[in-house]
Amino acid sequence: MRTSLNHPNNDGTVGVYPQLIPRQPDSTAHSPPSRNLRDQGISRAKLLASLRAWGSVSERRTCSHSGDFGSWQPSRRATVSKGVIQMSVLEEITIDGQKVLTLRELLRPGLSAVFVGLNPSPVSVAAGHYYQGRLGRSFWGRLQTHGLTTRLPRGKEDIAAFAQGFGFADLVRRPSPRVDALTANELRAGAASIGQRIKAATDCRTIVFVFAKAYHLSAPGLANEGYRTFKMPHPYGASEIVRAEMAALKRALVGP
């Protein structure tokens, strides 16, 4: 099954990023146990409730929802079969007159916290999910190792974590291979808008920045808007420092 994106070429490529959107398997009979929601303590009903809060999702096996994003009508499909998630969180937006494929912001009412990165990597956009690059894999590992989430299905961690009460967004929505490809204007605009973007979609007022640069750009302004702000440990931090900082973050977000 190919994710449906209304691109005029209809050739499997989208916007300025000509990667193929990954196929999702039609059958989940042979999915590895690590991707099974029951093993993670997430019921099918809970996942559907989270997806329904995110967008109008029916309880049919294959679900679709279209929403108004300016002049473009995206379509997304979610499959929940035998407790296994089949979903992509891609969205096409217009930046400076060009259509750009990026990651949809995962926001809904009732979240415990929203994790905010700098901007999506092309690797994550190609995979259709947040934090699929090398540093992203470390981010998911830390959440699971230090007990902020249960075990998450590899490659679709964002959807399972979303069901557990965590949202995801980026300061800048334009993907780039390197952070230094972002302009100062993009970073300033992202820092100025992130609070309002989150407020428009969720009642959550707790933000965890995945990278220190995003934290330092945004935290002072967000404090004035009534947000609690935290940051993840440095990706290459010493193990004892990472343990201490992750323990403090867990206490702040989910309790002891």
Residue 210: both structure tokens together: 């995945």
Q: Where does the pLDDT of residue 62 fall: very low under 50, low under 70, confident under 90, or very high at 90 and above?
A: very low
DSSP three-state, residue 167: strand
Query: Nearest to residue 37, comparing CAs of 28, 63, 131, 107?
Result: 28
Return the DSSP state at 101.
E
Which is higher by pLDDT, 24 or 55?
Answer: 55
pLDDT at 127: 94
Which residues, 6 or more positions from 219, have their beta carbon under 8 angstroms from its beta carbon? 209, 229, 231
- Is the pLDDT reported for residue 73 higher than 50? no
- Say if CB 75 and CB 63 are below 8 A apart: no
* pLDDT > 90: percent of the chain: 62
Could you give all domains of the chain from N- to C-terminal order, each with its CATH number? Answer: 33-254 (3.40.470.10)
pLDDT at res. 65: 28
Q: In residues, how long is the chain?
A: 256
pLDDT single digits (tens) 197-256: 999 999 999 999 999 999 999 999 999 999 999 999 998 999 999 999 999 999 999 887
* Residue corresponding to tokens 């990706």: 235
* Residue 6 one-letter amino acid: N
> In this structure, what is the dihedral angle of CA atoms 96, 102, 106, 108, given to the nearest 10 degrees?
30
pLDDT classification of 80: cutoffs 50, 70, 90: very low
Confidence of residue 88 (pLDDT cuts 50, 70, 90): confident
Residue 52: per-residue pLDDT: 54
Report whether pLDDT(46) > 90: no
Residues 54, 110 contacting (CB under 8 angstroms): no
Give tens-digit pLDDT for 156-175. 999 999 999 999 999 999 99
Of the two residues 138 and 11, the one the predictor is more confident about is 138
- E strand or H helix at 223, and its extent? helix 212-224
> In the prediction, which pLDDT does 156 show?
94
The secondary structure of the chain in percent helix, strand, coil, rounded to multiples of 5, reads 35, 20, 45
Mean pLDDT of the chain: 76
Tokens 């990026």 — which residue?
Answer: 102
pLDDT value at position 86? 53
Return the pLDDT at 41.
52
The SS3 call for residue 142 is helix
> Given this model, what pLDDT does residue 135 score?
87
Tokens of 25: 């398997």
Between 14 and 136, the more confident residue is 136
pLDDT at position 5 is 32
How many Cα atoms sit within 13 Å of 25 on the Cβ side?
A: 10
